Each structure stands twice: as C-alpha cells, then as structure tokens.
Amino acid sequence: MTRILSSAVAAVEPGAAIRRFLKCSQDRLFLDDQLYDLSGIKRVFIAAIGKAAVPMSAAAADIIGEKLTGGLVICKHLPEVKDSRFTTLQGGHPVPNEDSLNAGKALMALVNDLTEDDLLICLISGGGSALVTLSYDGIGLADMQHLTEVLLACGARIDEMNTLRRHLDRIKGAGLARAASPATVISLILSDVVNSPLEAIASGPTAPDPSTIDEVLEIIRRYDLADQLPQSIINCLQLGYETPKPGDPLFDRVQNVLVASNELASAAAMECAAKSGFETISLGNAWQGEARQVAGLLIEKMKDQFLADKPLCLVAGGETTVTLRGSGKGGRNQELALASVPLMAGESDWMLIALATDGEDGPTDAAGAVVTQQTLQNAKSIGLNPESYLDNNDAYNFFDPLGDLLKPGPTGTNVNDLTFMFWFPLK
C-alpha cells in the first residue's frame, strides 16, 4: 500500500514538474511550446508562492542558472537551509497572519519596478491564498482572518472562497500580473483545485478571472454570510472593484501553464497498483461536497464492484468540505474516513485510505486515516463511538488512539486529496 500511495505523491513532485515543462539552452528559454529569447531580457526574477514554493523555486533556479537575477520564495514551512539565490519568507496557513501580510508587501516591492525588458517567472501552488495577502485599503488583516475563518467553517468550496478573495486583494485575481506589467510574466502552476481552473489556484495571481462581483454576492447569499462579514469587506465589494478578465490586453505578455494536478497523481497510483497485481478503477477526480456525504457515495461505489479473484484498487480524487458543527480536531480526509467507519463494518477484506497529498489534513499533523471492517469493533473495544466523534468534528481524536492516522509529514506538494479503496480476495 505504501508504495502505491508514495507513487501518487512522487508523480507530482514539484521540482520534477518544473523540469518537465521548463527548459533553458543558452539564450533560449522554453515553457511548454513557447520560446523566450533571453538575449533581449535584462533581468530574470523568480516569485514562488505556495506550499510547493521551495522545491519549485530550486528547480527553476537550476534551470535558469546564471541568468537569474534574484527572487522571492513564500512558503508554509521554512527549509532547514535557505537557498542563497532567493529571499525566503514564511506565511500563515490556512488563515493569513502578519507574516502573510509582510510577504505580500515584499512580493509587490519585487515586481513594482519591473520593466518591459524584465522577465518574471511565477511558481504558484496551493496555499498561496493564505500565505500571501495584501488586501485593498480599508480592509485590515483581522478582517481577512475573520473572512477566512467564516468561509472555512461554513463549508464553502475552495474555488468559492477564492472567488471572494480575488475581489478583495491586490495580489489575487491577476493582481500580481498587473503589478508586474509591462514585464513578461510566465507562470508554472501546480493545482490544488478540482478541475484546475487557473483563476482559483492560489486565487489566480497571474490568471484571467472570469468571476464577477455579482458571483461574489451570490456566494455570500448562498452561505448566509452577510451578517458574519466585517463591514470593511462589505464596503469594498460595494465599490465594485473588478479583476482583469479573459481577453484583457494585460495577458498579451502573460503565459500560464499547468504543470501538475490530481489527475496526474491518481494516474500514477493506478499504474503502480496495476504493476502490483491490482485490478484498477478510477472513480474520477472531481469529488466535492460534504466529507461525510461523499464517504457514503464512495462506499456505494465500492459495494457496486464485481469482485473476482484479483485484488481491486479504486481511486477517487477531489476535495471535500466540512461544515463545522463541533469543536473537535481533524480535517476533511479524516472526517471522510470517520464517516465511513460504520459503513465499512460489514465489508470484509476492504480497506479505505483517505489522505491529503500535501501531508497535512486540516490544522493537524496527519494526512488522513485508514479504515477497515475491524475499525468499528476496535473503536468500541476502547469506548469510542464514531457517531459522537463525527458530531463533534473530532476525527483526529477518534483515529489517534487506534493508531490509524497517516502521518507522513509535509510532502512538499499539494494536488488535493485522494481516497483509495482496496479489496483483497480471501486466500
């Protein structure tokens, strides 16, 4: 099992993803099918934002070599040894903090004096929305922190959260590309959002934003948030600040390229499982909704499978949400696993594994959890009731005494979540 899970993460290793897409030969830089002539470029800067910023920036700097002028790396976890080629800063996540604000100021200071003779290479990955912030005038850091906490608690999807953020922040919603203009901007993007809409990943600092203020207001109505948001945010939205849209001339000098996604991770896991003797079935990569409800749907898919003599591996990708009802500890993958415990009780020879590819599920040190038909019995034997823990959103403290949490530590990448369901035929 470990080899299969590891293969998924290895396939989306950020440095390898950069090296697949970015090539440099003398004065020629290639990104995907686009050629950039560096002989006419005076300065080359790197700006890396997100959970995968450190390995992405190291790979890009190695490729650019001596042509690199400098850069800025903004990450969640500071590396043990900082790369001397960059200034490396830490931001707050999942809620922005003072470090996130300082990082936002540093990022804008880097790009504000760029000219048309400069090249900015942006390396964008999940988590960037919180790690870097610079909201519009009148909106304080405490207001953005409150907004984030409200959105996390109400069960909003990440793309919905980032639609709000794009209309409140100078960096998000192509704000970084606008600030860097007239420089040439190329962005290599590692997706942590279902279906990989570029405007949603780290709130799209260099991507065209098709969303509008009207959509923002609809999200606020959908989750009944109007009375929970700071007045400064309401005031800002009423001013009607819009983001650059597809077709804006700004993007004539901007190239955005997706370099890794959940689909790539799940495909690698399935290939590894097949080589290990499993029959493999993909359940798709767009699973969204309440974690506890998705658990039930996945178990139904599991029960629908025809079981032959060959081991079976089902793989589902996506990102669920959790509407907070209690005060417990956990994350969406742990909650999905907890909701599946009673459903798995009668399913002999099945194992479910739900995990976050970044190694950090919610504000915990666990990536997810493992469930088998024995989990319910094991829990009851030490006085644990899964329904009670689910009601309190306390999946971590349910699985921890059972030894069923997955704790690989931060993986350095981030492409949403994966759920595996394995079936082993009786010998």
Express each pLDDT in 15-68 by its tens digit.
999 999 999 999 999 999 999 999 999 999 999 999 999 999 999 999 999 999
CA 175 – CA 171 distance, rounded (Å): 4
> Is 347's pLDDT higher than 90?
no
pTM (two decimals): 0.93
Predicted confidence at residue 427, as pLDDT, reads: 58
Express each pLDDT in 370-380 by its tens digit.
999 999 999 99
Predicted confidence at residue 309, as pLDDT, reads: 83
Express each pLDDT in 112-170 by its tens digit.
999 999 999 999 999 999 999 999 999 999 999 999 999 999 999 999 999 999 999 99
Predicted confidence at residue 154, as pLDDT, reads: 94
Residue range 204-212: mean pLDDT, rounded: 98
CA 208 – CA 243 distance, rounded (Å): 8
Quick one: tokens of 366? Answer: 């666990």
> Is 175's pLDDT higher than 80?
yes
Q: Return the CATH superfamily for domain 263-423.
A: MOFRL domain (3.40.1480.10)
Q: Return the CATH superfamily for domain 2-260.
A: Glycerate kinase, MOFRL-like N-terminal domain (3.40.50.10180)
Express each pLDDT in 268-296 by its tens digit.
999 999 999 999 999 999 999 999 999 99
Helix axes 332-344, 291-303, angle to 10 degrees: 40
- CA angle in degrees (0–180, nearest 5) for 162-168-172: 55
> Is 348's pLDDT higher than 90?
no
- Sorted by where each begins, the domain ranges of the chain are 2-260, 263-423
Predicted confidence at residue 269, as pLDDT, reads: 98
Predicted confidence at residue 182, as pLDDT, reads: 98
Average pLDDT for the chain: 97
Same fold: 2-260 with 263-423: no
Tell me which residue of 119, 99, 86, 249 sits closest to 185, measured CA to CA.
119
> Is 308's pLDDT higher than 90?
no
DSSP 33-76: TEEEEGGG-SEEEEEEESTTHHHHHHHHHHHHGGG--EEEEEES
